Amino acid sequence: MMIGLPSTKIDDYSKRVLELVKPGSVILFSRNIIDREQITEFINSITSFLGYKPLIAIDQEGGIVTRLVKGFSVSPGAMAIVSTGSSENAYTTGRILGSEMKSAGIDWNLAPVVDINNNYNNPAIGIRSFSNNKNTVIEYATQFIKGLTEKGIITCLKHFPGNGRVSTDPHLDMPTLNISKEEIYKTELAPFIAINAPSWMPTHLYAPAIQTSKIPITVSKEILTDMIRTELKYEGVLIADDLNMGGVSNFYSPEDLAIKSLEAGMDMISFCDNIEKQISVKKSLNIKFKEDNIFHERIKEAENRIENLFKQRNNMQSHPVNIQNFQNNKTAIDKISLQSVQILKNEDNLIPLNWTDNIFAVKAARLVLVEESKEGIQEVVTETSKYLNCSITIYNREISERESLLLLKKAKGKRNIIFTENAHLIPNQIKFIENLNSLSKDLIMIALRNPYDADINGIRNVICSFGYNTSQQTGILEKLLDKFTLETKT
């Protein structure tokens, strides 16, 4: 079992679940992390209490899925790295993240995402994907893995067979991948077939072209065993996406789900929170293991594969990251982040600019459950306001008709800047932006996330940052405003 723990310390709750579950892996989330010193001590405490070190896992994709911040280099995400035009940057990012994770005691990065982002309205992937082109995904993911592996980190391809084309977030419900078997093999599976990685993460979707029963792939023997093991001949570890997610938990009890997933061919099951559920699942597995000889053998098979990950972990050397290492890492990552910010359109030659009448900024929200995001507006909005001496008007993601009319009245005939975050997914925002564009004297869009906002009808001037770490926000300012003016004011 892979489990998550509730807090930043090994308290009595954590001790209880560790003692009763004896996990093969512990996954870290932001709720467990304060800074480098604390997380290192946290991992050491887990090891000391258990008497062995489980595989310490994390989702450190970069970009919007970044768990390690204070005391670590904060990298751009997958699509941002591709926007730099250099797969060498993916390798550099992997090496830096890998060295810092390994030095803190982390073993297993549940990354990279190799979903091909074929559906621009996909709510769960977007900029977490490298590209809508399978060859680009393969090239950049390979380099990212190379960097991580060189620094001693076990990697994982996710989300098998491919989550980039669906229109439902599996955190909430089970998506359907409704394309032909030929297309699945030709496109979705291409990264899994082409890239060598020690683990894959199957996800909670249903693919009717390759399944005879309408069940999540995470409990499908015809996928996990017949397809992956027999047909594709993959021998690495299969680690389940969190089994608390709606894509599977809507249909099975936790205990049944755990057993069905392992019986189908999963090697490690993950319950990322809820201590009582984790303990109950382990008790059910123990009973099944003792009473069912076929299940017993299936678990032994899974155990052998997981042992290989432990061996790989134990053979990888870690080197401390000192202050100078960290500063060099940060400089390199910041450079990549700055390079990722792009002017996608400048048809009216408005960029760079030195004045505007209005700044409109969407109120940021956590769009996908796996991401890290804060409510409100990003710092770059307030910085832009400061440099241009212009007030900020915040609008809601699901902007109402009444709110839209009030803002349009303010914007009519003026030069306006609008900050967006996946506006292309929200019909009300699309309508508002189209109207804003038609009524504005000039309009510049700053797309803080997916570049697809630039395709909203009529938009002619766009900067896209593919994310909003500190350096990407600096990059927006440098592109939007005259860099010389910025330096002079500073």
pLDDT score of 376: 72
pLDDT tens per residue, range 449-483: 999 999 999 999 999 999 999 999 999 999 999 76
Residue 33 has pLDDT above 80, yes or no: yes
Please enumerate in sequence order all residues whose Cβ is within 8 A of that of 114, keeping only pairs 6 or more positions apart, or say none. Answer: 130, 137, 138, 141, 157, 158, 162, 191, 192, 195
pLDDT tens per residue, range 275-295: 999 999 999 999 999 999 999
pLDDT tens per residue, range 105-128: 999 999 999 999 999 988 889 999
* Mean per-residue pLDDT, 212-233: 97
The percentage of residues in the chain with a pLDDT greater than 70, rounded to a whole number, is 96
pLDDT score of 454: 97
| CATH class, 341-489 region | alpha beta
Residue 487 has pLDDT above 70, yes or no: no
CA separation for the pair 124, 455 (Å, rounded): 19
Q: Where are the domains of the chain?
A: 2-323, 341-489
pLDDT score of 316: 82
CA separation for the pair 121, 456 (Å, rounded): 13
CA separation for the pair 141, 151 (Å, rounded): 16
What are the angstrom distances between the C-alpha of 488 and each of 387, 481, 483, 484? Answer: 11, 12, 9, 6
* Mean per-residue pLDDT, 139-162: 97
Tokens 């996928």 identify what position? 223
CA separation for the pair 92, 70 (Å, rounded): 20
Q: Cα 360 to chain center, whole Å?
A: 27
Whether the Cβ atoms of residue 427 and residue 459 lie closer than 8 Å to each other: no
* Mean per-residue pLDDT, 399-423: 96
Whether the Cβ atoms of residue 155 and residue 197 lie closer than 8 Å to each other: yes
Nearest to 257 by CA among 275, 281, 222, 238: 281
Least confident span in 120-129, 143-152, 416-425: 120-129
Q: What is the second-level CATH architecture of the domain 2-323?
A: Alpha-Beta Barrel (3.20)
Please enumerate in sequence order all residues whose Cβ is within 8 A of that of 408, keeping only pairs 6 or more positions apart, or say none. Answer: 432, 435, 436, 439
pTM of the model: 0.95
The percentage of residues in the chain with a pLDDT greater than 90, rounded to a whole number, is 89
pLDDT score of 471: 96
Cβ neighbour number for residue 353 with a 10 Å cutoff: 16
Per-residue confidence band for 374, with pLDDT thresholds at 50, 70 and 90: low
